[in-house]
Amino acid sequence: MPVTSTLSKNSDHLPVRPVLDPRPYSRKDAGDVLAVGLATTVLMWSAGYIFRMPGDRVPAPLILVAMVVILIGGGFTAAWRTRRGPIGGLWSGLITGALNLLVLGSLGRDLTTDQRIVAYEFVWAPISVISTGLLAWLGGFFGAKFNPDRRQYLHPEGSFTLSTALATLILIMAGGMVTGLNAGLSVPDWPDSFKFGMFFFPISHMTGGVFFEHTHRLLGTLVGMATLIQAVYLFRHERRRWVKWTAFTALIMVIVQGLMGGLRVTGHFTFAETRLHMDPSTTLAIVHGAFGQVFFAVLVFLAAVCSPSWTSNIQPKPRLSAHIGRGIAWALVGVLLVQLTLGAILRHIGGVLLLHISVAVIVLLLALFSGGRAWGLNPDQLILKRIGLALLCVVALQVLLGVCAVIALGGGGPLQHPDMAQAVITTAHQTTGAILLAIAVLLAAWTVRLESPVSLRALDA
């Protein structure tokens, strides 16, 4: 047999290595430092959230050390994974410092007087931004040593959109804790917080349910800011019109989501500060919870289509079962939307446990079929193979967490006074559901990208 024929047959079973996006990188494309700056901010806020959680709090000096380490690590990453060197660390730190202004006002005791507001705006805010920039620059100085050739590893569009999706996942976790602890109405007014401006509410007042509710609002503001910057960035740098409009759609979604979160507390647009003038809406709470997971899936899809693998030269493979694979994948997405809505109803008012379990069986069967097909039928498409394996693992974890949630809640309905362990279990179940939806969307999208329907006659030809 000729060697060329043998190589041709063997190549059908080898992984396809795409040539990644060939577009040259420009120093004017700030997507890489935006990605590192946002990711650093998310890590800092997440650490602060965990360390300041009610209970046995971590001492303030240790929290400060952790924040400095994260900042230096962010600058190190910016210089190590981009071609910008130490200046990349500086820029990522300045971005982190600017985003941290959203919570800087809460570190003071009271910013309701004019004198303290002026001091904050003209003294502490600039000092904070400059300090974070210098610390990140220090990390960038060391990170540049590990990238002496100034090679670019971070894809600007892909890394920035992925950081926005990561911030949203943290927000979903925080929202899950609010629901799990029945803390959704701990702060009685909106957009203010106990008559303070949202960004000036003192951290010393964040105790009990107020801590979980108010930090959820702050995280929502961070995600909204990141989504706004993402939309502007993609409108400037992205060439595909439909991707630009997807980013704009995500921006509209996060605005709607924020309004629903506020109106869930007040029931209507009002600046009233007492519960007597408000009408909290449980229906909006349910829609708010489910819609947030849909928003996360949209951001994950956006990160996928902006990745260098999506824009590479890899060609879709003709497959007889492509229509079936696409249909089952999108069916899984549709059933998951129903299931997540039922889960939100169950967490807020209960009464749909049996229906939730019944739909879970359908989700499990569709996930096993879609994940098994993507994993088993694509030895030469590593992307589909890995997504299929991820789907199988996550759906198994989700079923396990669902059983644990039912046991922890004694039947699955909301509890009047849940403890921390119960809230963590139900939040883990909710967050894994959001991840499962995102993976299902990824599988459906990549199936369209990498599989091409073909007839038997055409395949024979």
Neighbours of 290 (CB within 10 A): 21
Distance CA 271, CA 282 (A): 20
The pTM of this model reads 0.90
3-state class (DSSP) for residue 197: coil
Residue bearing tokens 């993402």? 230
Taking residues 146-161, what's their average pLDDT?
Answer: 93
DSSP assigned state of 19: P
DSSP state of 319: E
Least confident of 80-84, 265-269, 372-376: 265-269
Residue 322 has pLDDT above 50, yes or no: yes
453's enclosing H/E stretch is strand 451-453
Say yes or no to pLDDT of 271 above 70: no
Q: Which two three-digit tokens encode residue 319?
A: 């497959």
Per residue in 423-443, pLDDT (tens digit) is: 999 999 999 999 999 999 999
DSSP label at residue 271: -
pLDDT at res. 184: 84
Q: What's phi and psi for 322, nearest 5 deg?
A: -60, -40
* pLDDT exceeds cutoff 80 at 111: no
**Which of 81-90, 272-281, 364-373, 385-394 comes out lowest in average pLDDT?**
272-281
The set of residues, in sequence order, having a beta carbon less than 8 Å from that of 318 and lying 6+ positions away, is 452, 453, 454, 458, 459
pLDDT class for 105, splitting at 50, 70, 90? Answer: confident
Residue partners of 253: CB distance under 8 A and separation at least 6? 291, 294, 295, 298
The backbone torsions φ and ψ at residue 319, rounded to the nearest 5 degrees and listed phi first, read -150, 135
Statement: residue 263 has pLDDT above 60:
yes
- Mean pLDDT in residue range 83-106: 92
- Percent of the chain past pLDDT 90, that is, above it, reads 63
Q: What is the mean pLDDT of residues 232-244?
A: 94
For the residues 298-309, what does the mean pLDDT come to? 96
The secondary structure element, H or E, covering residue 317 is: strand 317-319
pLDDT at residue number 54:
82
Mean pLDDT of 36-51: 95
For the residues 167-176, what does the mean pLDDT come to? 96
pLDDT computed for residue 455 by the predictor: 64
Rounded to the nearest 10 degrees, the angle between the axes of helix 322-348 and helix 420-450 is 160
Q: In sequence order, what DSSP letters do the residues of 87-133 get, joined into one string?
A: HHHHHHHHHHHHHHHHHHGGGSS---SHHHHHHIIIIIHHHHHHHHH
Q: Token pair of 129, please?
A: 């931004």
Phi (first) and psi of residue 445, to 5 degrees: -65, -45
Express each pLDDT in 185-232 by its tens digit: 888 888 888 877 788 888 878 888 899 999 999 999 999 999 999 999
